[in-house]
Structure 1
Amino acid sequence: MFQTITADIDARGVARLTLNRPEKHNALNAAMIAELTRAAQALGADPAVRVVILQAAGESFCAGGDLGWMRDQMAADGPTRAVEATKLALMLNALNICPKPVIGRIHGNAFGGGVGMMAVCDVAIGATPARFGLTETRLGLIPATIGPYVLARMGEALARRVFMSARLFGADEAVRLQLLARAVEVADLDAAIEAEVAPYLACAPGAVAEAKALARRLGPPIDQGVIEATIAALVARWESPEAAEGIAAFFDRRKPGWAR
């Protein structure tokens, strides 16, 4: 059914949605973006599903956007870039509005879009060796489509500490930034995830869905206007000379012109 992810549901109704491009550190490409959107919608609509665990195979949780996919956007025309940016934005939104509680099992590094995927989880638990970073500005890009979810999770004051510096930080700082709810040792991660899952299995599923929808409605608005603004911002940045230089420098294995 899927090529870049897996989706399994156990007898309790606990679904495990797994990013499954370990050889690419689960970087987001067009296929994964489409499959995650479909899976989020399907799991959200499945009455048998009570909880969704978002996790990943391999060493990393998610390395962000696949550089090959991003290079394709640099070579594309404006309308094509807008279509691809929209697909990315709608994938994040599909996870964010999923009526089932989404628990992030963050066992390894997460950068760029991977941080965005953590931010759309209702709660994320991370393993202490993991590192995180909003690394887009190193490539001349900006954390556009993930921005509303990162700001909703961290708040502006905390987000501004890491939103534009591309600085990497560890799990303990991610807790202080409110990106992670808890940081635990790898050996304790599954137990910590189970502790988050168990209470939901005693709750009324409909009430959980309505409570989540209410929390989203009362929180920072992430409506169609906000989403469209982030798409436009990403497309404009893809068209910038800095983005062209940043992506080219990455593939040429050299520093971009602005690096000191």
Structure 2
Amino acid sequence: MSYRYITLDFDNHVATLKLNRPEVHNAFDDIMIGELLDAFQQIERHPACRVVVLASNGRNFSAGADLNWMRSMAEKNYAENIADAKQLAQLMERLDKLTKPTIALVQGAAFGGAVGLAACCDIVLAEERTSFCLSEVKIGLIPAVISPYVMRAMGTRQARRYMLSAERFGADAALTMGLVHEVVDNLDQAAADVVELLLGNSPAAVTAAKQLIADLDQQPIDATSQRLTVERIAEIRVSAEGQEGLSAFLEKRSANWKKDSQ
């Protein structure tokens, strides 16, 4: 499928997905959301893909929702707005639940829904001068669909401030809150370093670890969680990659997935 507002490339086990509307600061509308949904589906199905990089072309990561699109939705009825919001919710869920590790590279400005995209990724790298803003209340709206992911990433206490004030905050503040993992000078080099780390790990184990995190998040530490963790480690130990990883470690050699990524 050819895309109008995004690009998708696969190379050496890495899928690079870029927002590609720099003339409007990569603002997204229903067309871009549909394209992103299709791209995530392709990524999930790609047999060789092991890492996903989410980035954008131009000065800014994304200005959030396209204002012309928002204006058109304001003219539609409640049922039509429900359908539209469901598509954005599906986008956030699909990104959040991708079985492959995701890295967001954020530069310039990340406003509104763009903060949600970052919050749904496993690892977020940002340039020092990046600014974030949950700006919805300034125009009479709320960051509703992205709120579960943003609150999980930056914490409820911080979300209460920034979702209500709609003030900008920088990369260092985002780092302190946990929305960003690392503030870097060179996004491409930092991304390459993280990709190398991820490709050095067992693909099956990385996928299993992602699922484990999702299943345990916000759950009490009790007999149920204990049983789940016991079962998961037993499953991975007897799996093909679990056996290969342990053998490679004991034999002081590279595991076969490392050879595949070279």
* TM-score, normalised by the number of residues in structure 1: 0.81
Offset at residue 34 of structure 1 (A): 0.5
Matched residue type, 2:30: A
* Separation of aligned partners in 1, 2:168 and 2:157: 17
- Asked if 2 retains the 8 angstrom alpha-carbon contact of 1:154 and 1:177, the reply is yes
The answer to whether 1:3 aligns with 2:4 is yes
- 1:18 alignment partner, SS class: strand
Offset at residue 161 of structure 1 (A): 2.6
The answer to whether 1:63 aligns with 2:58 is no
- 1:116 alignment partner, SS class: helix
Overall identity of the aligned pairs, in %: 42
Offset at residue 77 of structure 1 (A): 1.2
* Separation of aligned partners in 2, 1:217 and 1:39: 25
Structure 2 equivalent of residue 257 of structure 1: none
Counterpart of 2:206 (choices 199, 205, 208) is: 208
How many residues were matched structurally?
218
* Divergent runs of 4+, >3 A: none
Structure 2 equivalent of residue 110 of structure 1: 110
Matched residue type, 1:54: L
Offset at residue 33 of structure 1 (A): 0.4
The answer to whether 1:16 aligns with 2:22 is no
Offset at residue 129 of structure 1 (A): 1.3
Offset at residue 209 of structure 1 (A): 1.2
- 1:160 alignment partner, SS class: helix
Structure 2 equivalent of residue 48 of structure 1: 48
Matched residue type, 1:43: I
Matched residue type, 1:194: A
The answer to whether 1:196 aligns with 2:194 is yes
Structure 2 equivalent of residue 230 of structure 1: none
The answer to whether 1:217 aligns with 2:236 is no
* Separation of aligned partners in 2, 1:208 and 1:46: 16
* Separation of aligned partners in 1, 2:130 and 2:180: 11
* Separation of aligned partners in 1, 2:210 and 2:137: 32
CA deviation profile, 1:90-137 (whole Å, cap 9, x unmatched):
011110101010000112210000100010010100001111100000
Offset at residue 50 of structure 1 (A): 0.8
Offset at residue 47 of structure 1 (A): 1.6
Offset at residue 40 of structure 1 (A): 1.0
Matched residue type, 2:90: L
* Separation of aligned partners in 2, 1:217 and 1:154: 19
Structure 2 equivalent of residue 177 of structure 1: 177
* TM-score, normalised by the number of residues in structure 2: 0.81
* Alignment gaps of 5+ in structure 1: 222-260
The answer to whether 1:97 aligns with 2:97 is yes
The answer to whether 1:155 aligns with 2:147 is no
- 1:163 alignment partner, SS class: helix
Structure 2 equivalent of residue 36 of structure 1: 36
- 2:16 alignment partner, SS class: strand
- Asked if 2 retains the 8 angstrom alpha-carbon contact of 1:159 and 1:177, the reply is no
Offset at residue 220 of structure 1 (A): 4.0
Structure 1 equivalent of residue 125 of structure 2: 125
* Alignment gaps of 5+ in structure 2: 220-262
- Asked if 2 retains the 8 angstrom alpha-carbon contact of 1:5 and 1:18, the reply is yes
- 1:164 alignment partner, SS class: helix
Offset at residue 207 of structure 1 (A): 1.7
CA-atom RMSD in angstroms: 1.1
* Separation of aligned partners in 2, 1:104 and 1:220: 23
Return closer, same or farther for 1:220/1:45 CA change in 2, 3 Å cut-off.
farther
